[in-house]
Amino acid sequence: MTKHFLGVITLLSLAMTCGQLQAGPARYWQWQSIVDAKVLTCSPTQLGPGWKKFRGPFRDSRCEKLVIIY
């Protein structure tokens, strides 16, 4: 029973470590209102049906630093 318990703990620790290695900072997008095209906002997630993706991705929450993709 002890060997089984240690094996499970080892696997869980490995799985948690691998998950952390894949995590990165959120990418932000500039969203444009469908109702008023002059209204722009910055968010990492879609705001709803009244918004469309306008520009991005950005590295910061103010949508100033573009992500450079090679």
pLDDT of residue 32: 97
Of the candidates 42, 22, 21, the residue with the CA atom closest to the CA atom of residue 31: 42
Question: Where are the chain's structural domains?
Answer: 2-58
Q: Is the pTM of this model over 0.95?
A: no
Cα 56 to Cα 62: distance, rounded to the nearest angstrom: 11
Beta strand pairing status for 40-43 and 51-58?
unpaired
For residue range 35-52, list pLDDT tens digits in order. 999 999 999 999 999 999
